[in-house]
Structure 1
Amino acid sequence: MSREPNLMESTMQARTNRLLTTALAATAAMATALPMLAGAAVSEAEAARLGQDLTPMGAEKAGNRALGIPAWDGGITEVHPDFEPTKHYPNPFPDDAVQFVITGQNADQYADHLTPGQMALLKQYPTWKMKVYPSRRTASFPQGIYDATRENATKVTLVDGGNGFTGATSGIAFPIPQNGTEVIWNHLTAYKGDTWGTSWAQAPVTTGGDYNLVEFDYEYDFIYGNQSKTASQRQENLLLYFLQAITAPPRLAGSILLVHEYADQNAQPRKAWVYNPGSRRVRLAPNVAYDNPGTASDSLRTNDDFGMFNGATDRYKWEIIGKKSIYIPYNTYELNSDKISISDVIRPGHINPEYARYELHRVWHVRATLKDGTSHIYKRRDFYLDEDSWAVHVVDKYDNRDQLWRVAELHSLNFYDLPMLSAGVEVHHDLNAKRYIAMRLTNDYDVVYKPIEATENDFRPAALRSRGRR
């Protein structure tokens, strides 16, 4: 295809986005000067833009013809005829053709639409490439999420210091964000389903491409935003219950992690417990947070890398850098399909690029800089969030020498029966070690999203011991 690779933001987009550009400049300046201000709800006049020039989630509804970005028209609203509940999601776009391929040799031509981390991966691995497809703005969510998001715009506020929010039990917390802290809370409050279970594996991959799978069963009860719960059942300040059970390898099987997550983390920090099958004891796990190594990850990711970012925001200053168009993984149905196996996905240095799909999307660029007097192995993190879903799709992570160290990408897809834009394969690269860890590998598993019946008692520490003996 003869698409011009170095297209900059056109005059057309400048006119279309002039209001947003002005707002971003103001909020970025404010974020730089006072990055941790307690947030304030926007005016009714500003909130009225939702569903008008902005989508119900706060994205620009208009497209950009020059860049090939379409207007948002509601996202996917129909279920694929071959879809079976709880199973894998058939690709709704099997006939889409690759427009062009970005490699280490031609990456400089596309640098305006790549992050530094993506550029580094292309330069470091000659076998890595990004197959670019037509951009499809498929993100869609339940009407209840749209309605709650509209209400939140005028009433939700950050707590002092920004480490939490008040005023909502559903919907995107800050659909018209005023600072970087609000943007990352949008990622944390994005709809992720109701009460459900799934199974998947993670692969910490050596430089030679070897790996031993770690297999998990997961159960989630998303209190915040849960569409099967009434407003009174969605408890104020409670975000979710999360249960992770290792099923393989045998030396790790039986270990269980339980997490309770909260909206106002000043008032109530995360609670976590672990069950050890050897001792048959349940213990508090305060280290399941921040930069402690993630479960069975070979130290290739931190606890707060899970889901691209999770947990408390208090160790960083959060700044809106702006909005730009980036090639991000999107509509990656093939990579997350049961038509291929995990062994087809894993390759030395990186996942198999033949199954990955990239599209040009507008993203929010938010920079997290470590605060003085706090600690974390990442001094700086640059987050790139899809405007239509608020899901973080790319993260560039820097060490204490200000050197690019790690790069993460989320290969998302739409669970169109719910609907929601969901996490798929999640990959965290260590550029120095030349290793990576691939997570959420569902290819060899039958259950992708299975609604479950669960009560509050099922996510209590007392329940872990009985689960471990099953």
Structure 2
Amino acid sequence: MSLCKSAAYSAASILAALMLSLPAQAGVSEKEAARLGQDLTPIGAERAGNADGTIPEWTGGLQGIPSNVSYTEGQHLEDPFAADEVQFTITADNADQYADKLTPGQLAMLKKYGNYKMNVYPTRRSCAFPEVAYEATKKNAVNASLAEGGNGVENALLGFPFPMPQEGVEVVWNHNLRYRGFKLTRQFAALAPTENNEFTPIVVQDQVIFPYADPSKTSMEQLDNISLMYLQTVIAPARRAGEVILVHDTINQVKGPRKAWSYNPGSRRVRRAPTIAYDNPQSYAEGMATSDNFDLFNGSPDRYEWDLKGKSEKYVAYNNYKLSSPDVTYDQIANTSGHINQDLVRYELHRVWEVEAKLREGHRHVYERRVNYFDEDSWTMSGAELYDSRGQLWRVQEGHMIQYYNLPGCWNASEVIYDLTAGRYVIQGLKNQEPMMNFNADELTEEQFTPAAIRRIATR
């Protein structure tokens, strides 16, 4: 190579390195952002329906209590679409007819289990968020940017940071930072049935503060780089009662990674827990899910390259009030070997963003590749396929979306991960036989989300 060519290559390399070290440019123009609330919904979905009318126009969603349900504070949510009937059922026998609207994971489930089916209902675009989230999203559209390498967000607050995404990792951050209120408490059960449908529910209590959604904050600097404070305490079964996990998630992973602590009643010690991240096993999934499988995906996106594939129409588990009903027992949900009771799951046709994640060179994870689907009306991750190091489909994720019209907000009420190799699954987030979520947990303070606070609780 000649000297001049060598110098040119060196200059190009230096320029590339400089570009990678700089934060991404701020978001879209004011003119583009003006589409939000017009031809786009306030969070960036297509307002119009599809060509054949199977996906209707978004007309505002359920921003309050529907007129056809009764609701009092603290009760489980009644199904506003209970009168809807099944339009058709997809089975292994007719899957080819609907293949263009099915994900590879759904096709794999239909192929593996002869009794697996998908009951498809009319599409209801029920998702809605409060006006304060819409206003913040429009500001974020213009001001928000990615931190170095896409491993964080800058100049955003409360709303979705990238309602008009240009990169796959922006969609991931929309999911991670999506609006779920400010302070909440909940209690949920996780089930990991054996091949004989035997299980012992793991029941936990959660307390959560989302500093990112604090309406009193006026700049990201006031958040001290914390997007979420999460405290989880196991209350059943007795042999595990008292186990505690504390997590502080960060907005900008470049400035600082996630911090986590755990308390085990046996040792009576609070320890730093760096293993509560990435591909370390979830504590109650019996080896069938990783830490970053919780909420379908959580935490830093830094181990993957995220490729935005575009948007398509898929059948999604949506408006699953029946599956979440207090009239449905955990035994009824887990009454079938290999998968949950599909008679309880409602599917609808919706548009989803597809984002493929490939493991970055030099990084480690049990999933070599992940194909992820994000609902356009909520930015919630609705499903995924997880591939092993041989490139084989290993696990399939599915979220069960509902509109929390009492907040309002829209995300998965429960989620399931199917291990195709083991022929088993774990479902978590179930609140059927637990108290309903409290979105007005004003009693929570940030002082309760510290290692010292865990020690005080443990010694009572």
| 8 Å CA contact retained: 1:245, 1:257 | yes
Residue of 102, 119, 126 corresponding to 1:138: 126
For residue 348 of structure 1, report the CA deviation from its aligned partner.
Answer: 1.5
For residue 313 of structure 1, report the CA deviation from its aligned partner.
Answer: 0.6
Amino acid at match of 2:445: T
Residue of 452, 456, 460 corresponding to 2:450: 460
| CA RMSD between the two structures | 1.7
Equivalent residues in 2 for 1:111-190 (5 A)?
Answer: 111-190=99-178
Q: Partner of 2:7 in structure 1?
A: none
SS in 1 for 2:321: coil
Q: Partner of 2:46 in structure 1?
A: 60
Q: Partner of 2:401 in structure 1?
A: 412
* 2-structure distance, mates of 1:350, 1:423: 18
| 8 Å CA contact retained: 2:189, 2:204 | yes
* 2-structure distance, mates of 1:36, 1:301: 33
Q: Deviations over 1:192-249 (max 9, x none)?
A: 122111111101122221111111001001111234x443696252201001101111
Q: Partner of 2:90 in structure 1?
A: 102
For residue 36 of structure 1, report the CA deviation from its aligned partner.
Answer: 11
Amino acid at match of 1:464: I
* 1-structure distance, mates of 2:102, 2:395: 15
For residue 169 of structure 1, report the CA deviation from its aligned partner.
Answer: 2.2
Given the superposition, is the C-alpha separation of residues 202 and 37 from structure 1 closer, same or farther in structure 2, using an over 3 Å criterion? farther
Residue of 306, 310, 313 corresponding to 2:298: 310
The answer to whether 1:72 aligns with 2:62 is no
| 8 Å CA contact retained: 2:155, 2:219 | no
Residue of 437, 444, 454 corresponding to 2:433: 444
* 2-structure distance, mates of 1:52, 1:313: 31
* 2-structure distance, mates of 1:374, 1:238: 25
Q: Deviations over 1:94-115 (max 9, x none)?
A: 1101000001111111110011
| 8 Å CA contact retained: 1:86, 1:450 | no
Scaled by the length of structure 2, what TM-score is found? 0.92
Q: Partner of 1:293 in structure 2?
A: 281
Q: Partner of 2:415 in structure 1?
A: 426
For residue 342 of structure 1, report the CA deviation from its aligned partner.
Answer: 1.1
| 8 Å CA contact retained: 1:35, 1:319 | no
| 8 Å CA contact retained: 1:35, 1:318 | no
* 2-structure distance, mates of 1:364, 1:71: 18
| 8 Å CA contact retained: 2:75, 2:436 | yes
Structure showing greater radius of gyration is 2
Amino acid at match of 1:307: D
Amino acid at match of 2:218: A
| 8 Å CA contact retained: 2:119, 2:346 | yes
Q: Deviations over 1:358-400 (max 9, x none)?
A: 0000000000000111000000001100001000001111111
| 8 Å CA contact retained: 2:23, 2:147 | yes
Given the superposition, is the C-alpha separation of residues 299 and 161 from structure 1 closer, same or farther in structure 2, using an over 3 Å criterion? same
| 8 Å CA contact retained: 2:20, 2:148 | no
For residue 455 of structure 1, report the CA deviation from its aligned partner.
Answer: 1.1
- What is the identity percentage for the equivalent residue pairs of Structure 1 and Structure 2? 45
SS in 2 for 1:205: coil
For residue 122 of structure 1, report the CA deviation from its aligned partner.
Answer: 0.9
Given the superposition, is the C-alpha separation of residues 344 and 35 from structure 1 closer, same or farther in structure 2, using an over 3 Å criterion? farther
Given the superposition, is the C-alpha separation of residues 67 and 299 from structure 1 closer, same or farther in structure 2, using an over 3 Å criterion? farther
Q: Deviations over 1:336-356 (max 9, x none)?
A: 010111111113111111110
Amino acid at match of 2:375: D
Q: Partner of 1:231 in structure 2?
A: 218
Amino acid at match of 2:458: G
* 2-structure distance, mates of 1:67, 1:118: 23
Q: Partner of 1:206 in structure 2?
A: 194
Q: Partner of 1:332 in structure 2?
A: 320
Gaps of 5+ in 1: 1-33
Q: Partner of 1:249 in structure 2?
A: 237
Gaps of 5+ in 2: 1-18
* 1-structure distance, mates of 2:307, 2:64: 37
SS in 2 for 1:95: coil
Q: Partner of 1:46 in structure 2?
A: 32
Q: Partner of 2:309 in structure 1?
A: 321
| 8 Å CA contact retained: 1:39, 1:182 | no
Q: Partner of 1:378 in structure 2?
A: 367
Amino acid at match of 1:357: R
| 8 Å CA contact retained: 1:166, 1:237 | no
SS in 2 for 1:289: coil
